[in-house]
Amino acid sequence: MKIRILVGAQWGDEGKGKIVDLLSADTDYVVRYQGGANAGHTIKFDDQEIVLHLIPSGMFNGDAKCVIGNGVVIDPIALVEEIEEVEEIGVTLKDRLFISSSAHVILPYHKVLDNVKEKNRGKDAIGTTGRGIGPAYVSKVARLGIRMGDLANREKLKKNIQQNVDDINKALEHVYNEPKIDAQKILDDLTPAIDRISPYICNTTELLHNAVDKKASILLEGAQGSLLDVDHGTYPYVTSSSPTAGGACAGSGIPPLAITNALGITKAYSTRVGNGPYPTELFDEAGEKLRKNGAEFGATTGRPRRCGWLDLVALKYAVRLNGLNELALTKLDVLDDFETIKVCTHYEHNGAKTDVFPLDTGELEHVKPVYKEFEGWNSSSRNIDSFDDLPKKALEYIRFIEEYIGVPFTMVSTGPKRNETIIR
Ligand code: GDP
Ligand code: IMO
Ligand code: MG
């Protein structure tokens, strides 16, 4: 049985939610392993559209067990809202949703700190989603965090929250000149959410070890994208976790040697939300058209996404970082009415040409993309069921990418709905 890691191969929003939903029909367990409600994974089927932030995207197609792994940071109040949305669609979560007792809790002070620190950075702001992600991982690594399993002991929880709040209030008052936080209010707001989610909190590490022993099929759902990885991304313009395949084991407890596949998701062009270097970003009509055709507005914050051509230097880097052995190409249809389509094959820097993705963010800011140009296919790729029936010029474009990166596209997505996918 497959134990497959699915990662975003760009800067996020590649269509991971859509592909996880599609694959979950043949999957026993779908596991989120990092990030938090900064993610927005859109799923469309029949007349339904739902954006999931914390719950794995495996709830709606088949009966996979959905696990929020230890590596995720969870805002209990956001989770309750999401549980209610999912239940409204008619999905029963009993025996379907499992939340790791080791996952860390995002508390209101993490969100306050996220926003205060962003404000203080001024023009150097990261452009975070404001969901408290960075500060929550700081608490975790500083060993001050509260874990989902700690929510049951109210006395201890109260003491821990009070200690953290006392500490943070000193910074808010004396360093940031911001209003102080009230620990009791946090507890009062949190209590109904704890009651609502506590039935789902358990030892998911044991659950997944048993699943591995039973040779169950498991899909590890990455959030964000490889280029937002805290180690391998465009630091400091990254998220605070490891979305790359390497993070999947740490964030779930599944051992590396159990993994059989690494599937990357890439758009047929590129987007980025938030700040940071983006060599192929477009500021012209073509960029506007990508945004309009692709409805490129953040699924979590609603911000317009920055849009540009596909960057093969960056994609090849993601392929190698994650050891991808399969790729899904999404949003091919967005390019259907372009006269010409460009793809970046190299960067130029200080007069030299390179196909190596620079790890220095300052350098990445200054590289100039070198493009290969393709004629557009000017016809609809939607509702095509077979790979070979795609427009000839679209096939040329796809085959060029495959050859460059050395990995085949096993899926091509030509629309947001589950059935708008060509399986090769
Ligand atoms: P994720 O974060 O990687 O799950 O991606 P998002 O849900 O944030 O953004 C992807 C957007 O593209 C969503 O609105 C999807 O419904 C949509 N989408 C996914 N695949 C396709 C596709 O092949 N074509 C089009 N037109 N839209 C798609
Ligand atoms: P999905 O899972 C796109 C970006 C933010 C910001 C940076 C840090 O839907 O692909 P954070 O709030 O994580 O501290 O913000 O990361 N970012 C995303 N961009 N898709 C996402 O998730 C993202 N999650 C975070 O815009 O630049
Ligand atoms: Mg998204």
**What pLDDT is attached to residue 1?**
81
Pair (317, 246) in one structural domain: no
Which alpha helices (DSSP H) does 233-323 contain, by range?
245-250, 285-293, 312-322
Do residues 306 and 396 both lie within one domain?
Answer: yes
Question: Closest ligand 2 atom to the C-alpha of 301?
Answer: 26
- Going by their DSSP bridges, the two strands 3-8 and 218-221 should be labelled as parallel
Does 60 score more than 90 pLDDT? yes
Cα separation, 223 vs 39, in Å, equals: 6
Mean predicted lDDT score pLDDT of the chain: 97
Same domain, 92 and 19: yes
Give residue 159 CA to ligand 2 midpoint distance, Å.
Answer: 32
pLDDT at 79: 98
> How far is CA 113 from its chain centroid?
22
CATH number at residue 130: 1.10.300.10
Report residue 298 as tokens.
Answer: 């953040």
Show which of 245, 262, 279 is a domain's final residue.
262
pLDDT of residue 407 exceeding 90, the answer is: yes
Residue type at position 389: D
Residue type, 346: H
Question: Which residues are known to be catalytic?
Answer: 13, 41
157 and 245 in a single domain? The answer is: no
For residues 80 and 222, state if they share a domain: yes
Q: In 10 A of CB 313, how many CB atoms?
A: 22
Q: Tell how far the Cα of 132 is from the centroid of ligand 2, in angstroms.
A: 12
Same domain, 284 and 357: yes
Q: Does 210 lie in the same domain as 174?
A: no
Task: Give the three-class secondary structure for 412.
Answer: strand
Q: Which of 128, 137, 297 to mutate to test the pocket of ligand 2 (most atoms within 8 A of CB)?
A: 128
Spell out the residues 6+ positions from residue 90 whose beta carbon is closer than 8 angstroms to its own.
none
Written as six digits, the tokens of 382 are 């939607």
User: What would you measure as the largest C-alpha separation in the chain, in angstroms?
Assistant: 66
Say yes or no: 300 and 406 in one domain: yes
The reply to whether ligand 2 has any atom less than 6 angstroms from the CB of 323 is: no
pLDDT score, position 410: 98
Tokens in use for 175?
């360093």
Phi, psi for 372 (deg, rounded to 5)? -105, 135
% of the chain with per-residue pLDDT over 70: 100
146-169 pLDDT tens trace: 999 999 999 999 999 999 999 999
400 and 270 both lie in a single domain: yes
Each residue of 154-211: pLDDT tens digit?
999 999 999 999 999 999 999 999 999 999 999 999 999 999 999 999 999 999 999 9
In terms of DSSP bridges, do strands 261-267 and 326-330 run parallel, antiparallel, or are they unpaired? parallel
Number of domains in the chain: 3
Are 277 and 369 within one domain? yes
CATH number of domain containing 252: 3.40.440.10
Q: How far is the CA of 168 from the centre of ligand 3 (A)?
A: 30
Residue 16's nearest CA partner among 247, 266, 254 is 266
Residues 277, 324, single domain; the answer is yes
Ligand number nearest to the C-alpha of 241: 2
Beta pairing class for 310-311 and 340-349: parallel
CATH number at residue 278: 3.90.170.10
Cα–Cα distance, 335 to 16 (Å, whole number): 19
The atom of ligand 1 lying closest to the CA of 295 is 14
Last residue of a domain, one of 145, 177, 197: 197
Mean pLDDT of the 285-293 span? 98
Domain that holds residue 235: 3-101+200-262
Percent of the chain with pLDDT over 90: 98
Last residue of some domain: 180, 197, 214?
Answer: 197
Does residue 258 sit in the same domain as residue 297?
Answer: no
